[in-house]
Amino acid sequence: MRYAMAVDTRKCVGCSDCVVACQTENNVPHGFCREWVVETMNGTYPQLEIEIRSERCNHCINAPCVRCCPTGASHFADGGIVLVEHNKCIGCGACIASCPYDARYPHPEGYVDKCTFCIHRIKIGLAPACAAVCPTKCIYFGDLDDLNSDVSVVLKKRKSKTLIPEAGTKPQLYFLI
Amino acid sequence: MEEEILVSGRMNQLIDPQLNIWHWQIPLYLFLGGMAAGILCIAALYFIRGRENDYRTAVRITPFLAPFLLVIGLLTLFIDLRHKLFFWQLYTNIRLQSPMSWGAWTLMVITPVSFIWCALHIRDIFPRWDWKFKWICDIETFFNKYKKALAWIMLIYGIILGIYTGILLSAFNARPLWNTSILGPLFLSSGLSAGAAATLILSKDKAERKQFARIDLVLIGIELFFIIHMFMGFLASTQVQIEAAKLFLGGPYTMSFWIFVVTMGMLIPALLEFMELGKFHIPAIVPAVLVIFGSLMLRFIIAYAGQISRWLY
C-alpha cells in the first residue's frame, strides 16, 4: 500500500476551501495551517501563465524528518503516511529544520504537528478532508499500488510533477500539469 | 519572470516568513559542547602520550571547565525543547540515522566521564581534599587504576562530540548552507582551538603556554583551510548552495562573518600568537579570548544564516 495525492493545477481555482476544511477537521490551532495554497505567475504581460497548487506535507518516501528525529516520534504509518506520535515528540525542532517544504509547525502544546492525510478518515473509507471538500474535485487521493485507484488512474493519464524532487525526498504529492 | 504568492496565507509561527525555529540555545550549546570536547580531547591525548607532567594545566586543571560547560550546554538544550516533559524519550530510543540521537547518547557518556576525570584531579585544585567516605575512595582507586582506558574513552567520545556538533546541522539537506559535511571537521577544529585557548588562559607555565600558542596557531590554519574549502565547495555546487554562500559573500551575514569570525576570531589571534612565539611579549589572554569569541560567533552565525538558506521554491 502506498498512499499518494495528486492535485490538478489546471482545475484548482485557489479558493482555499481545502485549507479551511483541514483546519476544521483536524482542530488546527488558530494561526497555524497544515496546508496552504500557492499561486505561481510566470512570464510577462500579456503572456502570463498561472499555476495554482494546494500544498501540504509530501509524505516523502525518503523523508528527512523521519531520518533526523531523535526519538522516533516521526515515523511511517501504514501506506507510507508520515506521522508524529505526540507523546514521543520532545519538540526539538529537528524535523522542522529538515523539511525542505516547511510543511511542519510547532503546535502550541509543544509537540510538532503536520498533515496526516486525514488518516482517521482514510481508515473508515473516507477521503481526506481537503479532497472531500474540494468544489472543483481537483484533489485525487488513493493507493498507488492499486492500479484502479483515482490517483493511479489520473497519474497514468496526465503529465505530473513533484516539488523539489532534487532534494531527494521522493515526494508523494503530485501536481498534474 | 516568476512570481509566487501564498494565496491562502500561511503564517505558521517560527516557520514563516522564514525559518526561525532555533534561537540562541542551540548555537550556544554547540559552542559549549565543542569547547568541552576540545578541552577533554587535548587532556586525554596528552595523558595517553605520557606528557602529563609537561602540560599539567591542560591535563589536570583545564578539564575542570568541561563539566560546567557540558551541564550548562545540557541545560540550554533542555530550554530549547518545546515538549519538555517528554525529554526522556531521547534515552529510550537509539536512532542511528539521527545525529541528535547520537549526540544525546554521547553526552550521556562524556558528561559523567568528565566529572570522573575532574574527581581524579581534585587535589590539584584543593590540595587537602578528603572524600570522607571509604567507598568513594575505593571508586577513586578503581578509576585511577584504569585511568588510561578512561582517557581513551574521553578522547574518542570527545572527538565524536566535537564532530557531531557540526554533523547535527549538516544532516539537514533542506538548509543548503548547513548541508556540507565540512561543518563536522570545521566545528571540531574550532572546538579544539577554543579548548587550547582555555589552557592558554589558565596556564602559568611559560613552556606550556608557548606549546598551546603553537597548537592554536596550527588549528587556526586548519580552520581557515576548512572555511576556504567550504566556500569553494558551495560556489562549485548547485544554485541553492551558491545562494547559501552568497549570504556570506555580499549577503546579510557578510560583515559579521568576516569581521567577527575570520578577522577577530582567527587572523588577529593568529598574528598575536605568531608574535608571541617570536620576540614580542603579548598577554596570552588576548588571543585566547579572541579565539573563544570567534568560536562562539561561528556557531551563532552558521546556525542563524542556515535557517535563512533554503531551496529555490
The CA distances from residue B216 to B223, B271, B274, B276, in Å, are 10, 11, 10, 12
User: What mean pLDDT, rounded, does chain A reach?
Assistant: 94
Q: Give mean pLDDT, residues A22-38.
A: 93
Cα B303 → chain centroid: 13
pLDDT at B313: 59
Interchain proximity B172–A167, CB inside 8 Å: no
Q: Do A110 and B83 touch (CB under 8 A)?
A: yes
Residue of chain B with shortest Cα separation from A101? B174
Residue A42 touches partner B, C-beta closer than 8 Å: yes
- B20 and chain A in contact, CB less than 8 A: no
Contact B89 A90 (CB under 8 A): yes
* Distance (Å) from the alpha carbon of A147 to chain B's nearest alpha carbon: 31
Per-window interface: B 108-147 vs A, CB < 8 A: none
Mean pLDDT of A56-64: 95
Q: What is the dihedral of CA A70, A73, A74, A79, to 10 degrees?
A: 140
Looking at the complex, report in whole angstroms how far the Cα of residue A153 sits from the nearest Cα belonging to chain B: 28
Could you tell me the CA-to-CA distances from B148 to A21, A28, B49, B57 in Å, in that order? 64, 56, 10, 18
CA distance B178 to B166: 9
| pLDDT for res B283 | 87
Check residue B284 and give its pLDDT. 86
**Residue B247, SS3 per DSSP:** coil
For chain B, domains (ranges, CATH) are 25-308 (1.20.1630.10)
The alpha carbon of residue A62 is apart from the nearest alpha carbon of chain B, in Å, by: 12
CA distance B75 to B255: 31
Residue A144: predicted pLDDT: 94
Question: What count of CB pairs under 8 Å joins A to B?
Answer: 158
Contacts A163 to B, Cβ<8 Å: 313
Q: What pTM was computed for the model? A: 0.93
Place of cell 488512474: A153
Nearest CA in chain A to B104: A70
Q: What pLDDT is recorded for position B1?
A: 67
Is B6 in contact with A72 (Cβ distance < 8 A)?
no
pLDDT confidence bin for A107, thresholds 50/70/90 = very high
Q: Does B13 touch chain A (CB under 8 A)?
A: yes
pLDDT tens across B196-243, in order?
999 999 999 889 999 999 999 999 999 999 999 999 999 999 999 999
In chain A the domains, ranked by start, together with CATH numbers, are 3-176 (3.30.70.20)
Q: How many residues does chain B have?
A: 313
Model confidence at A68, pLDDT cuts 50, 70, 90, reads very high
The cell for A148 is 484502479
Which of A96, A139, A163 is the best mutation test for B, with the most CBs of B within 10 A? A96
Tens of pLDDT along A164-176?
999 999 999 999 9
Determine the pLDDT at residue B277: 85
Q: What is the pLDDT of residue A37?
A: 94
Helix B285-308 crosses helix B206-235 at what angle (to 10 degrees)? 20
A168 touches chain B (CB under 8 A): yes
Q: Which of B6, B16, B174 sits opposite A64 (nearest CB)?
A: B174
Mean pLDDT, 10 residues at a time, over chain B (313 residues)?
Answer: 80 88 94 96 95 90 95 95 92 92 94 95 88 89 93 96 93 92 95 95 90 93 96 94 94 95 95 88 90 96 93 72
Q: For residues B123 and B66, what is the distance between their CA atoms, to the nearest angstrom?
A: 17
Q: What DSSP character marks residue B84?
A: G
pLDDT given for residue B279 in this prediction: 81
pLDDT of residue B130: 85
